[in-house]
Structure 1
């Protein structure tokens, strides 16, 4: 059977989640291609994220699971995409510690099914189309494990040392993707990114949690002593890197994507508090500390240290020189510029936050 790829069509998995929806929105703003958006709409999947393109004929949303072999195979047969970009994943470390089974099902078994269904599709293509096809697997720097302060940033050749159920499941999925390339010649590319932040991030992650907590006058919880270090990458910078890799990345390779913004969790929270102190001064809003009942002078007074997360990695740092040198990618946002844009987005989208808080957004899932 000789299929012909529709060269302007890609299948995006997890395209209603945080990073996936940002990629879809960015692509739809300038790329003349059709996007088939497959998302299971678990708690972090939100159709409001892609509401602005709901009527666009170049965007087709499909509510479904990457672990559903029949569904994936039917989508490939129907739309003949030139590429798959796999954003679909369970990604919250705390949730993986409390209940790991969904991480195994989605991140490992789901990736396996996606690989197999796509490999069979790829084998049905003409030789020319097989050369054009790409499978981009989006992963995390957490697979490399924790670093000490004196350790060099991880490179694409660093040893995998995952320490949480989440990062272990992502490491396993990476190994599957790599094996499918080396065993079958299947044209895969793996990306490992640092901590993303920006618009549309579900409010369980550190930065949106702090922003929303400030809106609500709640305490700002920080694990341990707040000295855990992460490299922060603005989400649209990440999306532009994925686009470059899709267009010019080398098959079989891995690319690290980092923001060059290492900061402790405490520094991140303090920066956010400082920005809010300038925009919405606490001492002018008659705000009261929820625990001491004293008037707030600064939002930083809301910072509260809580018992540390189990197995909390001390430091992540990523060396992204490979993608910078080979594909000429650079992050355009510093943390200072990116965090301002992030705060502005959440300030201007209180309804989006409210619908998540009340569970209203989940009603849209029931309609699918």
Structure 2
């Protein structure tokens, strides 16, 4: 077997089955698609129409260390996603791109309320995105890359439409919508502002995650769990504020951190994005290493592939370089994510037993076969 001290190659990381729980549709467009949709729709506010320059602009603009500044980059992607055709295209390409990167299951989220500038209804928006994902899945399968994509509908926490979007998610939950989320700036907009929506979702036996503990600290996490009943935490990075690490390396968990670990509360961590928004100083200093060592249910995610210029493979490459993670570590993160997915239990087990575990076993066997002197 691949030894604990042996890091996987970039090619192995790309081929390894991966599970993605936190990825924004409007944060994952191809730069070329942004430019082409802008030209087609008459959107004239892009900083540049050169594809290479545009990709760099998104990454540079997002590298501000501020969540608020980071979120400003979305005005351009949202601006070109105001038609049914654009939504179908963006969703189809997202599914293709994820599948090509070795992602076997993904939950991609977006806020339908952001795509109504040209008169689209909320149900029309959801139907267009679902059509796009289905088409992307078909194209990916034709290329030999199978992926299952489900969606999470977000309500913007600074607005007052959370219950409306929650009802939309329930209305479409049998057509590919796996759950609900709230997104947007945390500071000044605590999760409890949307308490009615979360109470409605619980009554409907519907799944939901909550962005919490990214730009704001422990109170945001506490409210998301204890008042709102979150099943997962979007980011959750600031849970480390409730953990004291002693000089000898031992860790002392506060009551909230202990509760999160005891309950196996999934943390949807996005390393590159967390560095960009100032939630972590660097990849090497990211709390994911400590939380993995303490066996919190940590998952690895992309957040916004365009703004971070990243992919699931690149996130794992960075973590492997920073912390020496192996295929065993990758599988651990991936199983955490699959166990935490808003997918029926039998479907989760099937992906674990039929796709994920065999995929990692094959990579280990391949390494063993190709390494001289190994027995």
TM-score (norm 2): 0.30
Larger RCO: Structure 1 or Structure 2 (Cα < 8 Å, ≥ 6 residues apart)? 2
Q: Which has the larger radius of gyration?
A: 1
TM-score (norm 1): 0.30
* Between structures 1 and 2, the one with greater helix share: 2
